[in-house]
């Protein structure tokens, strides 16, 4: 029972949903209009959820309701500090419930998925071997700088992914610590990975596994127990809570045995001077060990609010509607012969609302710029911070030029990049319908405007 019962009062009325919005969970900015280079304005179609999803209206309302009560967490005796501390720790419990954590698991609040996985990388035991597929987002691919890393080739089926991992683990030193890092859903293809089977393979060979759920958690339920993963990481900004917080949740032992991720107030339980003039520090063994500094209580509360909103909406209905949107997009793109959708596991693979493609005869940056400037549609172009995977899918030489999110090629020039459309619980049908219609029109008729490269981006030529 909370010592501060009025903490519940900072939660906004959940009946603020827009009855005119056909998306199951209204998002902030759904009525924003943007200018078109061809004249006039149109409601912005935000179809870049895989980069950052818009804030749920519910999340924004909850944060706004709490903001007047903001106070320091774990620091003050005043009412607002105590209320904020209560809200912060209740949010930790909400996230643990959302992830179906085990008794004894810790929920550590971080800045993002990238931050969470770097924290875990810093906590690895000595001489730990890490196994990671080349298909991972850079947040999962790159943090393991002090470990022995085995990079696994991209599999072409879920079964091949499990077989590849099993072979690699069978060849490792059976006595040393090992960690497998795998995504739950690809940020490039949207395809779901066989997480439970990969976890079973890891554990059968004495290894542990961390799940990058950045693209999975906003679309599907994530159960630490059912998937039998040791840790899970995700970001608030992809979970409709873009206020600068992330989560690492899972087993406590490696986290307790490692040095604090950051040294400072909050992580330390006791600090005392020694007779020789030095300092002795006793660190916390709870989640606070890796949460030094004043915590981002608004970011943490926004994640908890999003977790509650998704749970209350019901993942069964959210998944069913998203499959409807996925089918609309894929069927529409299939009607355009010049479009090639990128896939590892094939057309029938289950997936979330993330689809990447290339268009014959078009530079992807040029195509994405035209979608934005002429149709008010926001998508992503580039290599999506997953360079090895996109290079594999495009069949390109690893030395081909390409920069994450900022291709340097001019319109019409061949370059290494693709287009990604992504959507979720806040996406109205009209947005994906407009997108499909725009793709067909651009391929058939071409762009109505001229474009040029400016600071590495393709932009309308207004000169």
User: Using an 8 Å Cβ cutoff, are 402 and 395 in contact?
Assistant: no
The 8-class DSSP code of residue 191 comes to: B
Say which of 101, 128, 385, 458 is annotated catalytic: 385
Q: How many CB atoms lie within 10 A of CB 224?
A: 21
Task: Tell me if residue 20 is catalytic.
Answer: no
SS3 303: helix
Residues 303 and 109: their CA atoms lie apart, in Å, by 10
Rg (CA), the chain: 23
Spell out the long-range contacts of 432-436 with Cβ–Cβ below 8 A and sequence spacing 24 or more: 432/47, 432/325, 432/328, 432/329, 433/328, 434/45, 434/375, 434/376, 434/377, 435/45, 435/47, 435/329, 435/332, 435/371, 435/375, 435/377, 435/379, 436/328, 436/329, 436/332, 436/333
Residues 392 and 33: their CA atoms lie apart, in Å, by 37
Phi, psi of 208 (to 5 degrees): -105, 170
Residues 229 and 224: their CA atoms lie apart, in Å, by 6
User: Using an 8 Å Cβ cutoff, are 440 and 377 in contact?
Assistant: no
User: Using an 8 Å Cβ cutoff, are 190 and 322 in contact?
Assistant: no
Half-sphere exposure at residue 100, Cβ-oriented, CA atoms within 13 angstroms? 11
Check residue 225 and give left, alpha or beta (phi > 0: left; psi -120 to 50: alpha). alpha
Residues 359 and 447: their CA atoms lie apart, in Å, by 13
Residues 299 and 318: their CA atoms lie apart, in Å, by 24
Residues 243 and 259: their CA atoms lie apart, in Å, by 27
Q: Which residues of 245-268 are buried (b: 16+ CB within 10 A; e: fewer)?
A: bbbbbbbeebbbebebbeeeebbb
Sign of the torsion formed by the C-alpha atoms of 319, 325, 326 and 331: positive
Torsion of CA 180, 422, 323, 301, to 10 degrees: 70
User: Cβ contacts of residue 457 below 8 Å, gap of 6+?
Assistant: 365, 369, 406
Catalytic residue annotation: 385
């Amino acid at each position: 029972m909370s010592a501060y019962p009025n903490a519940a009062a900072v939660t906004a009325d959940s009946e603020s949903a827009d009855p005119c919005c056909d998306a199951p969970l209204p998002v902030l900015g759904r009525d924003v209009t943007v200018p078109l280079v061809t004249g006039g304005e149109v409601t912005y179609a935000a179809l870049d959820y895989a980069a950052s999803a818009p804030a749920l209206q519910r999340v924004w309302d909850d944060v706004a309701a709490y903001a007047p009560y903001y106070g320091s967490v774990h620091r003050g005796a005043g009412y607002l500090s105590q209320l904020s501390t209560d809200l912060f720790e209740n949010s930790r419990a909400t996230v643990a419930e959302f992830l179906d954590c085990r008794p004894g698991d810790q929920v550590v609040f971080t800045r993002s998925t990238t931050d969470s996985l770097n924290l875990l990388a810093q906590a690895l035991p000595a001489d730990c071997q890490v196994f990671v597929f080349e298909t991972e987002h850079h947040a999962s691919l790159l943090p393991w700088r002090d470990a022995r890393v085995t990079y696994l080739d991209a599999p072409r089926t879920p079964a091949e992914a499990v077989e590849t991992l099993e072979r690699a683990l069978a060849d490792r030193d059976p006595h040393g610590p090992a960690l497998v890092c795998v995504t739950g859903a690809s940020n490039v293809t949207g395809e779901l990975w066989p997480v439970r089977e990969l976890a079973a393979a890891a554990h059968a060979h004495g290894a542990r596994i961390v799940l990058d759920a950045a693209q999975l958690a906003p679309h599907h339920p994530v159960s630490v127990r059912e998937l039998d993963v040791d840790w899970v990481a995700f970001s608030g900004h992809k979970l409709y809570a873009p206020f600068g917080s992330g989560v690492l949740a899972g087993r406590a032992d490696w986290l307790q045995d490692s040095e604090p991720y950051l040294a400072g107030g909050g992580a330390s339980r006791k600090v005392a001077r020694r007779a020789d003039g030095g300092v002795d520090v006793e660190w916390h063994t709870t989640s606070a060990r890796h949460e030094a500094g004043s915590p981002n209580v608004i970011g943490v509360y926004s994640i908890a609010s999003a977790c509650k909103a998704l749970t209350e909406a019901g993942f069964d209905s959210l998944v069913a509607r998203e499959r409807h949107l996925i089918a609309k997009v894929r069927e529409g793109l299939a009607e355009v012969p010049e479009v090639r959708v990128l896939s590892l596991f094939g057309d029938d693979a289950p997936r979330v609302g993330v689809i990447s493609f290339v268009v014959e005869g078009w530079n992807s940056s040029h195509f994405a710029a035209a979608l934005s400037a002429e149709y008010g549609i926001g998508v992503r172009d580039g290599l999506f911070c997953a360079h090895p995977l996109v290079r594999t899918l495009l069949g390109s030489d690893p030395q081909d030029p390409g920069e994450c999110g900022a291709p340097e090629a001019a319109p019409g020039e061949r370059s290494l990049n693709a287009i990604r459309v992504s959507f979720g619980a806040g996406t109205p049908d009209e947005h994906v319908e407009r997108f499909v219609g725009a793709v067909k029109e651009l391929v058939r008729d071409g762009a109505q405007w001229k474009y040029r490269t400016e600071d590495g981006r393709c932009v309308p030529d207004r000169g």
